[in-house]
Amino acid sequence: MSLTDGYHTIPPGKLADVQTFLEMRAKAPLRPAPDGPWRLERLATPDLSRYRAAVHRVGDEFLWCVRLAMPDGELERFLLDPRVEAYLLVTDDGDEGVLELDFRVDRECELSLFGVAGPLIRTGAGRRLMNHAIETAWSRPIERFWLHTCTLDHPSALAFYRRSGFEVFKRAVEVYDDPRVLGITRRDAAPHVPIL
């Protein structure tokens, strides 16, 4: 299906956003990142409730829902897959960042989840997390490191990814069930996006 110019009605209970796909074809230089009161913890044995709580903490305001909607068994299989690396950024206040690197496609790595909680935005924590992602991804024999972000993500996300060395290669419109309507995220999450 091809979208025509103009407006397209989105049914009640649905959301629509524009996804921007970016890729890095060679390791980009790392940008300076300050030290901070945080540490990275790889989830070797996933604690699903802890992981989901971290995803809620980081992503509710941006209506992240893919990991939250996964049944326990599917999420556990994903996190235990040796081709997936999941990390939490931990501070004295708890889990404040999430990073997923998905190597399940040969010679590729998808940055499948990335973000820090609101209090850590613009502190350098995101840069530290991204530097770790770039180093880890390119330590494997990959030819492509890629991600997608959307218009519901933090307003600085796209510029941050571009500064990190990713280049835009595609855009798409995504329509999906509103996670607030489904009860996956808080009903009052992302108040800047009205519920229909």
Domains, the chain:
14-182 (3.40.630.30)
List Cβ neighbours of 17 (8 Å cut-off, separation of 6 or more): 150, 151, 152, 173, 174
The pLDDT of residue 1 = 61
Q: Please give the structure tokens belonging to residue 47.
A: 């604690």
What's the pTM value of the predicted model, to 2 decimals? 0.95
CB 57 within 8 Å of CB 187? no
Band (9; pLDDT cuts 50, 70, 90)? very high
Flag whether pLDDT at 11 surpasses 90.
Answer: yes
- Predicted pLDDT at 3: 84
Task: Please give the share of the chain, as a percent, with pLDDT higher than 90.
Answer: 95
Report the chain's C-alpha Rg in angstroms.
17
183 torsion bin: left (phi>0), alpha (psi -120 to 50), beta (else): left
Average pLDDT (46-62) is 95
